[in-house]
Amino acid sequence: MQRQFEEGTTLDRFIFETTSEHADATGQFATLLKQVALASRLVSARVNRAGLAGMLGATGEMNVQGEYVQKLDTYANECFKRALEHPGVCAAILSEEDEEATLTPDRFHSGRYIFCMDPLDGSSNIDVNATIGTIFGVFRRRSEEGSQATDTDILQPGTEMMAAGYVVYGSGTVLVLAVNGQVNGFTLDPMVGEFFLSHPDIRLAPKAKTYSVNEAYAYTWDEKLRTYVDDIKRSNEGWRARYIGSLVADFHRNLIKGGVFMYPATTSNPEGKLRLLYEAFPLAYVAEAAGGAASNGHTRILNVDPTALHARTPLIIGNIENVQEIEAVLT
């Protein structure tokens, strides 16, 4: 049975009470979540003073995705890796910014979890002060704890994910965590440096009337999807379009208010654009835990087997009936 928590509960208390219910609890999972919260606070502080700290702008380098790396990308990536590599809880850390998985150094214990992350989603929006965030997911390793992580640990289907979440750095810093089949949101109080429960037991209604998609690329979509979007715009059913242009920000808005986000396949990216392991999988896990759904347009996202560290996918995610409706259109 899911435990209910009151607003104002600290994240530390939530982690303690949630993880203590695990029969095989060793403290590693609790430690991992606390280190994620620590790194989130550090990144939040740096984001809030980026202009003063000389952290605006690009580094002049490109990452493995072919995207220009922002200074805050590098900071966030290193911040999360440094927070997670030494406590002995992770065997490997997978990041959008790194070409290969970062294995736990030999001087530290190789723990039982695999951590996937997009350390700073939407970083192209940093210089204009738009909302950005961190996306993360957690797998349990398949090989023996204490040994070096293997490819079978790293490339697991989304059905094996055991926790996921994201952090939004906006007007406030909000950490949303999906664990044990429940989604809760915690807002950082910068005066005391602690996250407090602000959005308990987030649930998505079966259907919403909001859609989020970059319609500038409509000419590159499947014709059936173009027709669907045109039809709902012409309908008198009260549909609204809301698009921020930052995956984590768009998803967060739809999770709280209801809506479906689409990043479909295009003629230039038939395999999709979003990364499967550290964008689509974690957000799909959150959506399903909240009663929603996530699909690549044909298949449940969490059922997909990743074939490469940086595998990409189309993504349709949000209220379950909306996702099912779009799947039916594309089939």
Predicted confidence at residue 202, as pLDDT, reads 97
Range of the domain at 27: 11-199
**Share above pLDDT 70 across residues of the chain, in percent, rounded to a whole number:** 90
pLDDT over 70 at 59, yes or no: no
Question: What are the pLDDT digits (tens) for 229-278?
Answer: 999 999 988 999 999 989 999 999 999 999 999 999 999 999 999 999 99
**Both 23 and 136 in a single domain?**
yes
Structure tokens at 26: 């060793």
Distance CA(284)–CA(164), nearest Å, equals: 9
114 residue type, one letter: I
Distance CA(218)–CA(286), nearest Å, equals: 27
Q: How many CA atoms lie within 13 A of 308 on its CB side?
A: 10
Residue 205 lies in a domain: no
Residue 241 lies in a domain: yes
Q: How many CA atoms lie within 13 A of 247 on its CB side?
A: 26
**Both 41 and 74 in a single domain?**
yes
Contacts of 179 (CB under 8 A, 6+ apart): 18, 162, 163, 165, 289
pLDDT over 80 at 67, yes or no: no
Predicted confidence at residue 71, as pLDDT, reads 79
Look at residue 188 and give its three-state secondary structure. Answer: strand
161 residue type, one letter: M
**Both 146 and 97 in a single domain?**
yes
pLDDT over 90 at 293, yes or no: yes
- Angle at Cα 113 formed by Cα 112 and Cα 116, nearest 5°? 165
Distance CA(80)–CA(117), nearest Å, equals: 9
**Which of 199, 234, 267 is the last residue before a domain boundary?**
199
**Both 119 and 222 in a single domain?**
no
**Both 32 and 145 in a single domain?**
yes
Q: Strands 194-199 and 182-189: what pairing?
A: antiparallel
Predicted confidence at residue 70, as pLDDT, reads 66
For residue 267, the domain's CATH number is: 3.40.190.80
Secondary structure E strands in 128-214: 132-140, 161-169, 173-179, 182-189, 194-199, 210-212
Structural domain tally of the chain?
A: 2
> Residues of 166-192 as b/e, b for ≥16 C-beta within 10 angstroms?
bbbbbeebbbbbbbbebbbbbbbeeee
Predicted confidence at residue 8, as pLDDT, reads 87
Say what the pTM is.
0.92
pLDDT over 80 at 109, yes or no: yes
Predicted confidence at residue 53, as pLDDT, reads 46
User: If pLDDT is split at 50, 70 and 90, which confidence band does 4 have?
Assistant: confident
**Both 28 and 51 in a single domain?**
yes
pLDDT over 80 at 133, yes or no: yes
Instruction: State the residue for tokens 């950005």.
Output: 132
Mean pLDDT of 166-195: 94
**Both 195 and 89 in a single domain?**
yes
Mean pLDDT of 273-285: 97
Residue 1 lies in a domain: no
Of the listed ranges 29-33, 47-51, 174-178, 275-279, the least confidently predicted one is 47-51
Predicted confidence at residue 23, as pLDDT, reads 43
Distance CA(93)–CA(80), nearest Å, equals: 9
Q: What is the mean pLDDT of the chain?
A: 90
**Share above pLDDT 90 across residues of the chain, in percent, rounded to a whole number:** 78
pLDDT over 80 at 20, yes or no: no
**Which of 199, 220, 255 is the last residue before a domain boundary?**
199
Between these two residues, 36 and 57, which has the higher pLDDT value?
Answer: 36
Between these two residues, 2 and 192, which has the higher pLDDT value?
Answer: 192
Mean pLDDT of 25-46: 91
Mean pLDDT of 276-300: 97
Distance CA(79)–CA(46), nearest Å, equals: 11
The closest alpha carbon to 218, from 207, 230, 209, belongs to 230
For residue 115, the domain's CATH number is: 3.30.540.10
Predicted confidence at residue 6, as pLDDT, reads 82
Q: Strands 132-140 and 113-121: what pairing?
A: antiparallel
Q: What is the DSSP letter of 294?
A: E
User: If pLDDT is split at 50, 70 and 90, which confidence band does 9 have?
Assistant: very high
Question: What are the pLDDT digits (tens) for 187-212?
Answer: 999 899 999 999 999 999 999 999 99
Phi, psi (deg, nearest 5) at residue 190: -70, -15
**Which of 146, 172, 199 is the last residue before a domain boundary?**
199
Q: Strands 102-103 and 90-95: what pairing?
A: antiparallel
Predicted confidence at residue 226, as pLDDT, reads 96
